[in-house]
Structure 1
Amino acid sequence: MIFLCPIVWAQKQIDRSQELKIGQVMHDMPVQPVLNYKQSNIDINSFRDKVVILDFFDTFCTNCISAMPKLQKLQNELGDKLQVILVTWQDQKTIEKFFQTNSFLKENKVSLPTIYSADLLRNYFPHKGVPHTAWLYHNKVQAVTHSDFVKNENVEKLYKNGFIKLPLKSDFNDGLQDANLLIQDEIIGSVDISKYKDGVETIGIQIKYDSISNLQKTNFYNMDILGAYTGALSKIKKPSFILKDERIFWNVQDSSRFKYFKGAEGVNEWLVKNGICYERSDKIKRSEAAQAQIILDDLNAFFGLKVYWTKKELPCLVIKKLKGEKKAVSPLKSDGGVEGTGVLAFMIDYQGNYPPVVDEVDGKMNIQIDDYSSLEKLNQQLKAYDLVIIAEKRPTEVLLFEQVM
């Protein structure tokens, strides 16, 4: 039921009164408590002649953790020019356990200096989502950006030139102009589709009525084109499945414009090149579903596309009633499981390593599944409910992108 899950962590109200902006001189900081370093504290001021990367993370962020070997490799290669420092709000005990027990970090020999309980640095570089990366050089803030841009060539460029221009990561929409400055009385209606906006938070589709201007405002910022379409479509019809790659069909010249496919560049680098923003003002107030259809019409006209749900026969996993003699099983648990076969289909889809799942039972029982690791394991557990999952082909709902221009 979720098309897209950005990694944004809930935090307390964020105080931006001490925030450092690009170009500002870094304050003389007190030494900070640190792990994975030659001593128990670290003086950031002592690295003024190196490029300093402050990589904010927490132990819940899989994207942060998966990027750490890359940061370690960069540190190993450019140690005379670069100092990477991991930064987290979490306490010493939590971070010590994190490094002691994480086999991925051990395998990749990640041992970067890590500042913990970093309230002061969080105040200097406030953010809602991680990873979040601040660049320092010659005691000045040079960039605040996504971790994708921490690359050898960018470090070398900053070290050589003394400055660098990188896309700004802002979780507070600082790049948006105040729409109230427009003379709203003169607007009958408007629509604007533009490229990625620097310093604007990536948010979902917003449809709100502005009682001051008497305009219905519709917008989204820095979204991929696929995400824009699926976001609008979900406001018209709530999907009951996860939109896996197998459910998307591309009849277009270059699908890499519309969706990020994992490759050499990171997702945020790709988004800077391919992300879009949409702003629309209407005198006519419509329902959310009707306004979502307007968004789709605008996108189709702008990109020369026709995007719609249809059905295609696909290899699937089909949930069926088990035929044959019922076998004796141990008593079933009445709670703590998934509520019905529809939710079970969603949960199997969510694992990410199976073809699309089709529910042909529509059962409402509570189903206890402890192991999703293989089809064999699933079927062993489902026998208790007279259910079985079989690999077969079925007409399945898919999203079709067609280029018409």
Structure 2
Amino acid sequence: MNKKITLTSVMAILCICLSAQRPQVTTLPVNERLSNLVINNLINYPGDTASINTLTGNNSKMLLIDFWFTSCAPCIKQIPKLDSLQQQFKDQLQILMVTFEPDSLVIPFITKWEQRHCKKLSVPVATADTLLQAHFNQGSRPNYAFIAADRVNMGYTSKAFINATVIKEVLAKMKEEVNLRGYQRNPQQ
């Protein structure tokens, strides 16, 4: 009996110690700066990983993160619009589609989408993601996070109102705010 209690106690302490050593990721508040995370499992991108700084063109582009999944009808409906916006604003904006789903679901989905639309998707996709999901957990899909060129969280929306007019307005606001904050003077922070 004492051996069972001792073993159970040791295992409980070990579990507490191990969970305490895991880095805790919390939702990034608006107006807070995102660290230069490395995003893994990228498809439709030159490499399979990229840092946030790389995605923002080394602090020259806004990053629009689109949280989606392959069986979300509103998410799928937004893909042509996101693809068009990526092409229209390619020098000022990087859109990144992010899903918790694995490559085995996403790659066939993207292939079918490209065949159906007779074009290659211009937006990179991060699959099997947990890191960005933790930083920007808003629950609903589609869900968007606007990250300024200096990696500051400009806000979230779950509305499907993303269009060229909204992007132009957010880009103008971002430029003003980025200049005021001055982070771009030391982009590696």
Q: Same fold (TM over 0.5)?
A: yes
Given the two structures, how large is their TM-score scaled by the length of structure 2?
0.71
Structure with bigger RCO (C-alpha 8 Å, 6+ apart): 2
The corresponding residue for 1:132 is 143
Shift of 1:58: 0.4
Q: Given the alignment, which residue of 139, 143, 151 partners 2:155?
A: 143
Given the two structures, how large is their TM-score scaled by the length of structure 1?
0.35
Shift of 1:55: 0.2
1:74 aligns with 2:82: no
1:14-69 per-residue CA deviation (whole Å, 9 max, x = no partner) reads xx951011111012202422001112222222213211110000011011011100
1:156-183 per-residue CA deviation (whole Å, 9 max, x = no partner) reads 223223279xxxxxxxxxxxxxxxxxxx
Equivalent residue letter for 2:152: K
Shift of 1:146: 2.3
Which is richer in strand? 1
1:106 aligns with 2:117: yes
Shift of 1:101: 2.6
Equivalent residues in 2 for 1:203-282, closer than 5 Å: none
In the alignment, is the contact (CA less than 8 A) between 1:64 and 1:131 conserved in 2?
Answer: yes
The corresponding residue for 2:34 is 26
Taking the aligned partners of 1:136 and 1:86, their CA distance within structure 2 comes to: 13
Taking the aligned partners of 1:108 and 1:153, their CA distance within structure 2 comes to: 24
The corresponding residue for 2:130 is 119
The corresponding residue for 1:371 is none
Look up the SS of the partner of 1:148 in the other structure: coil
Look up the SS of the partner of 1:86 in the other structure: strand
Equivalent residue letter for 1:22: V
Q: Structure 1 residue runs of 4+, over 6 Å off?
A: none
Larger Cα Rg: Structure 1 or Structure 2?
1
Q: Given the alignment, which residue of 93, 96, 101 partners 1:85?
A: 96
1:39 aligns with 2:39: no
Q: 1:32 to 1:78 in 2, by over 3 A?
A: same
The corresponding residue for 2:68 is 57
The corresponding residue for 1:152 is 164
1:161 aligns with 2:169: no
Look up the SS of the partner of 1:69 in the other structure: helix
Which is richer in helix? 2
Shift of 1:103: 6.0
The count of residues paired between Structure 1 and Structure 2 equals 149
In the alignment, is the contact (CA less than 8 A) between 1:51 and 1:155 conserved in 2?
Answer: no
Taking the aligned partners of 1:146 and 1:52, their CA distance within structure 2 comes to: 16
Taking the aligned partners of 1:107 and 1:87, their CA distance within structure 2 comes to: 23
1:339-388 per-residue CA deviation (whole Å, 9 max, x = no partner) reads xxxxxxxxxxxxxxxxxxxxxxxxxxxxxxxxxxxxxxxxxxxxxxxxxx
In the alignment, is the contact (CA less than 8 A) between 2:114 and 2:121 conserved in 1?
Answer: no
Taking the aligned partners of 1:19 and 1:120, their CA distance within structure 2 comes to: 10
Q: 1:105 to 1:23 in 2, by over 3 A?
A: farther
In the alignment, is the contact (CA less than 8 A) between 1:63 and 1:131 conserved in 2?
Answer: yes
Listed as ranges, the gaps of 5+ residues in structure 2 are 1-23, 177-189
1:107-129 per-residue CA deviation (whole Å, 9 max, x = no partner) reads 36434100011100000011322
In the alignment, is the contact (CA less than 8 A) between 1:57 and 1:131 conserved in 2?
Answer: yes
In the alignment, is the contact (CA less than 8 A) between 1:26 and 1:140 conserved in 2?
Answer: yes
The corresponding residue for 1:94 is 105
Q: 1:74 to 1:31 in 2, by over 3 A?
A: same
Taking the aligned partners of 1:162 and 1:111, their CA distance within structure 2 comes to: 23
Listed as ranges, the gaps of 5+ residues in structure 1 are 1-15, 165-405
Look up the SS of the partner of 1:58 in the other structure: coil
The corresponding residue for 2:12 is none
